Structure 1
């Protein structure tokens, strides 16, 4: 395969160069915008860089797929789940296109046997794996080419990189930040760290505070592992909605595993002056949500679930499926290390995650791990919590706030 890189002012100009050089059969692998010239990153001309390729090799027909033999009736079939595949933005789009194509094909030509369906799923999985590998490879190429070779780093760039890695910032992001500093040409450590604030802010998505729906009731459910502060957080939200927003609130708890949690929420409800419903089955949750249909906001507290207990996670999903499509906020503790945060997120993802709440920011001095994962996941942040006091110690999430915490860690 021949791969070449082209620079142009517009995509039309780039396509013309590619067709003249590689011919009409060339395909686009990757593209990115960058600024050329200017002063300190400003006033530069916006340019487009395109990576294109063409396969010159002879295409050989693949052998017909071999169908799996049906197992004997008494033979036990082991189901194993492979590791989760993380797709980059380009690969994610292509994967969705492939999935739609498979669904369309299935609708037009019904699958005759389970073997055909397994074969189709296997092919799709292989395509996703290939796309994931290509996406990661291109991302590494882009970072490597946009940043100076590590052997040519200045002492300042090396120091900043070491601080970023020590703070658990993703290595690829760290190299990207070094490329930013290289373009700026700064020579002061303090100035270099301050220059990273804008890139930090741009990488984090926030959703703003929860507000009443334009019509009908808005249902919010908080999910997460044990010990992250879901019940306290939901009490803070309820108190602020009631006292500051003057919203008509209803509270529901399905956390009957901990008697203390139920009593705690009932106490908060009595103090704030809002009704609290305790449910033990999915049907009861559906009825409770229906009973609060005249409210403006319904808050649902759930039991903490271990990311390793698939049965309990499926049970939680079964409950929330009866709650009239709630907006689901995954609650994560800032004190959790990066590896466990990733495991928690991947375990709760099948339930459905709309937004994220990060608690216990006052109990940690390490922010790089959560920062990197928030960027990787792309889910918007709704709230931070910074202590145990109700209704205080909760903040509407803002990217500059988290960026300043990370900058403070890098300077320490």
Structure 2
């Protein structure tokens, strides 16, 4: 699900669709060879590029482009195959966030500044400002960014939960690199806004589990943020490569474990201190007998799908995943052109309504407590 964000993202600056998803929602999983997974895509997610993470966004070099302000960020999908629902024992909702396509360059754009999350009345819970901006910023002049990424995902999640409220549900959020930061941030937001709580007005009927599968994710917030995620019951599995720099930023701490223990004992706040959330699964690509010795430790789980890691004796070509003819088609007069794509999806007309309901419900719960 996380890799699908890379495989479907158009990062070719020679295309006027650079920064969009290459495939329409109706054929998204089919074009990615994932038609049999049992999920249906319900919504694309966008974010504005008018923020302080410029190396994260792709822009077209072509004059007439689809948007001056937006980039495609990921998608929301729901399990619709009844056999898959029975296998899982619940109807799963997936949120997948795109990571960076410019490798580590985006790290240099991080301000390393913490700011209050503002998702609840506790200014001590802080998030790295670049991640917060990416998640909450919007651009009214752009139809794709007239709602922030936050508003888009919360509204869509509320719509799906409302539709299936009488069933057992789960919320699974995933992403790689900077996408992993967005996955954790949105998981915290969902739980903080009580969007995963279903009640009858008086008592809780169901609490939907919120789970994050993070791949090569950086730190997102401070120690108070970590503690609040734990309190809210957000479950996080962080898969990392021990040679990867991304999980060590921002806010590298010489002895994080010692400082956190001191914080617990003394109840002293370290506003400059970042902390990871969840359980870590550390992998070491140098122990693999299949990979050649390389200093490039980007997502090695992809093997040669979008990189060149496998030893040559295995006969797998590098960078093998691509559209036939790179998306070019031949016209009746023999010319090769990049075809026009169907109208790119913006926001469903009920987005504002569902987001307003999320805010209304969260406020009611806060007053109740």
TM-score range, shorter chain: under 0.3
Greater Rg by CA = 1
Q: TM-score w.r.t. structure 1 length?
A: 0.23
Structure whose residues are more often helix by fraction = 1
Structure whose residues are more often strand by fraction = 2
